Amino acid sequence: MIAETFHRRDGRLWCEGVDLADLAERWGTPLYVYSATAVRRRVRRFRTAFAGLPVRFCYAVKANPHLALLRLLAREGVGADTVSAGEIRRAVRAGIAPADIVFAGVAKTDEEIRLALELGILQFNVESREELARIDAIAGALGRTAPVALRVNPDVAAATHDKIATGRRTDKFGLPPEEAVDAVRLAARLPHVTPVGIHLHIGSQITDLAPFRTAYARVFALVDRLAGEGIRLRRLDLGGGFGVRYRDEEPVAPEAVAALVAELLAGRELELVFEPGRAFVAEAGVLLTRVVYRKESAGRHLLVVDAGMNDLLRPALYDAWHGILPVTAADAPEETVDVVGPVCESGDVLGRRRRLPQLARGDLLAIATVGAYGAAMASTYNSRPRPAEVLVAGDRAVRITPRREPEEDMARECIPAWLDGAGATSPGGGDGDGGPP
């Protein structure tokens, strides 16, 4: 966490000029709270580090797609890296110009390709020859030309969680270098696409510079090779993946990445794109949760809290470690506890064997570093509400998403008439009663 944005005042945890306990009181828990200042600082740190280099940042919308954060990032001059029509629409709605949007994703549908073409995005990050042909055909039908970058899979294994590594030969992403070069040659021949670059992204939460160096060097070499054949690419999209500190990791400094690419660029006329997601927003968010029960079981102390794996999936899905901090009562004697959520799965554990001051029902905890892949991956599993979100800037706090109540989902569901013989009982989105099966 960034001390200047989340800090303690008289033993209580604050976000900028706002007491977090007041926010929990006002809007209930679980509650995501983001610091606008923290996001701006992260973006500006990257900008400063890369000053003087031909670099543009396209924020990976998937990390946290909230319109308010996208607007804040747009104001900072950041573009968007998108993977669906939904993300493209969000970016545009938030004020990001289509010319600052890249569109990646392994399964772009015709409809999505059409939308991106009609808007006139910066480039398609293309995963296969078949996709290339599809984009060419649709662009032809619309009378347009699609700027494309081929995604290379550089076969680099970065030390990160297996489920978020993407740059190994066995991962589903991109094409091996030889096949990618062939695909660029194909793109150069197709009438309705223009090869503008190469794309790569080797994984997420990477805290070592070495895999970036290996992967980047491989694609710079490909650019040179293609130039030798008369295919001049103007852009390299080097993806995201820059890790943050959840516990004791030493993240790669943006300055070190900048020095690396300055060295690799060495006078070449290339524009670089980076797609940071986590590095821009992770540290800017906490999830507030209240203790519902204490439970002593088989010699363990459990704190049962009101946030679960539906609100924050990372611990259950990736065994991710997030800091858990008391919001108040920080000076009570410490004990070792497991912090568990309410969802009916043994995997719904937010933190094991944590040292925390003794807390009681009603006390508040903050789960740290959840600005990225927190709310974005929340669901309504167990028919729980989706948590509300708040954005803080100075002493202003705005609830930017109300809690989504199960009632809203039920209102969209319908019970077929044949189940009770009396006509559909809900005005929701069902497709008529369909009759008996």
| Cβ closest to ligand LLP, residue 273 vs residue 327 | 273
| Cβ closest to ligand LLP, residue 211 vs residue 276 | 276
Instruction: Say how far residue 47 (Cα) sits from the centre of its chain.
Output: 20
**DSSP string for 323-366:** -EEESS-TTSPEEEEEEE-SSSSTT-EEEEEEEEE---TT-EEE
* CB contact at 8 A, 45 and 262: no
Distance CA 91, CA 69 (A): 10
Q: Which of 15, 58, 344, 414 is catalytic?
A: 344
| Cβ closest to ligand LLP, residue 81 vs residue 306 | 81
Shortest distance (Å) from residue 308 CB to ligand LLP? 16
Angle between helix 85-93 and helix 67-75 axes, rounded to 10 deg: 60
Contacts of 74 (CB under 8 A, 6+ apart): 94, 95, 96
| Cβ closest to ligand LLP, residue 177 vs residue 239 | 239
Verify whether residue 344 is a known catalytic residue: yes
Cross-strand partners of 338: 302
| Cβ closest to ligand LLP, residue 60 vs residue 198 | 60
* CB contact at 8 A, 67 and 376: no
Distance CA 194, CA 149 (A): 9
Pairing of strands 285-297, 31-35: antiparallel
Shortest distance (Å) from residue 206 CB to ligand LLP? 7
Distance CA 5, CA 40 (A): 11
Distance CA 413, CA 161 (A): 37
Shortest distance (Å) from residue 359 CB to ligand LLP? 27
Distance CA 431, CA 437 (A): 14
Distance CA 1, CA 242 (A): 16
For 388, the 3-state DSSP assignment is strand
Shortest distance (Å) from residue 237 CB to ligand LLP? 8
Shortest distance (Å) from residue 389 CB to ligand LLP? 17
| Cβ closest to ligand LLP, residue 239 vs residue 342 | 239
Shortest distance (Å) from residue 305 CB to ligand LLP? 20
Q: Which long-range contacts (CB under 8 A, 24 or more apart) does 406-411 make?
A: 406/380, 409/380, 409/383
Which residues contribute to the site for ligand LLP (CB under 6 A)?
60, 63, 81, 104, 164, 166, 201, 204-205, 239-242, 275-279, 314, 318, 372-373
Rg of the chain over all Cα atoms, to the nearest angstrom: 24
| Per-residue DSSP letter, 69 | H
| Cβ closest to ligand LLP, residue 145 vs residue 214 | 214
Query: Which residues have a catalytic role annotated?
Result: 344
